[in-house]
Structure 1
Amino acid sequence: MNLHFTRIKQLAGCALVGAAAMLAAPAHAGVANFDAQAPMVYGHGEKFLDGSLRFTSQISSFLQSQGITDGTVGVMLDGSNAGSCGAVIDCPAGNDSTYYSGWNDSSLNAQREGGFFNLNSLRFSFFAPLAGIPDGSYGQLQLTATTDDGSVVTRSADFAGQDANGHFMFSTWKLDPDFAALHLTNLNISACLFDGNGGCQNPADWALFQAQFAIDDLDVAVPLPGSAPLLMLGLAGLAAIRRRRAQ
């Protein structure tokens, strides 16, 4: 009888540990790749859903400070159509699917309705305001994340240069483990331009409305649904065993 009771207790303990591990580990939620989005021009405050995230386009903070809330903030573009950017603006290379481009020093907010999320990686590129500009890395993509405890955490990565045909290239940014483990309630995505003195500015006084970016394939994860009930079940099982032993 004692051996049987000990075995039950061991199994309950294993169930509890397993449930706790499931609660701590995120589940893969998929990729926000914008492929379901139609070509679209976005203004300030306009929203769209993709994957598990709700995105909101935002006009630049400088324009907002001037009381301006009109104008193009972002555009959903078809990477398989080389002419989708028109004759003046140069589309980035290395992406033949739909992607979001942030224009005119703007930013893009991402939130998950009903909870937080983790960001593992994304693809990004500089979105040149004009075709034919010299090769080089002109700035950075900037991530400003708000976590579930109210902390604000930032990360930045340099834009890649051009390919052999003079088009700025998409590259993949795999976030560091510390950032990927954060429980994000809001993610703001923007660009800045190098100022030549070790800084990166948005807006840039010498190049207003030219801190532009393109993003695609945001790889996100969310908590496993049902983990909390499993954990509570394990706790209840242990409590029942302890009561039985006390009797």
Structure 2
Amino acid sequence: MTPLPLLRVEIDGRPADAESLLHPATTAYGHFTAMQVRGGATRGLALHLERLRKATDELWGQELNGERVRGLIRHALGDTYPDASVRVYVHCPEITPTVMVTVRGPQRMSGAEQALQSVAYRRPAAHIKHLGGFGQGYYGQRARAAGFDDALLVEDDGTVLEGAVTNIGFLDDTGVVWPAGPSLDGITLQLLEPRLAGAGLPSRRARITLDGLGAFRAAFVTNSQGVAPVGRIDDTVFPVDEKLMERLHEIDAAVPWDTV
């Protein structure tokens, strides 16, 4: 999906200018989180703030106050953009981390089934939503050029990890199976996973390989923009399970919204 034009960029609560953008524009060392805002609220806000806090501590050994970040998001949205796609980037050019908030128009997954092309690539420090995603962009573009919607990242031995910008889940006779391996626990995954059992969909994590995909009845991807079915991975076809997708959408829609 092509990103919408930027509507606003603020760094530490001030409009970005050439000087304040110099460090973000010339370094790939940092991290971020992405969220959809509707009516000035988002889902999983505490998870977003905790993601940013933990990564800031791991990358620089610095504290990042969640309420400060929340206030910066609220400031960037103002009264102008109650509905938006928001990204919060953290850099540390000196001692104190800086927070950049970007605002674009709201986005949502189309819901159309996706075709994924597997590529042997594991993101470095995969548990962090870090900058410098050249590999993801490179393989995603090559997948689209080959007629797929995006790339599926796998180990050299074919162990499934994650989508280029998504998490992936599968359905078998036991319920939902998430790949076990180095990957990012997306916010939507974190919101859905503990709610699945209550909706009659037990879930677990297990090693999944490309040569074992035939054991699954369906597949789907998740990210901050929603949930969509997967219709094909390489040459393996998955019939869209309408009942599964209906339940996933119901669970997703029932997640509460947190006021920014």
> TM-score, normalised to structure 2's length?
0.22
Specify the structure having the higher radius of gyration (Cα): 1
Relative CO higher for 1 or 2, CA cutoff 8 Å, sep ≥ 6? 1
> TM-score, normalised to structure 1's length?
0.23
Higher share of residues assigned helix: 2
Higher share of residues assigned strand: 1
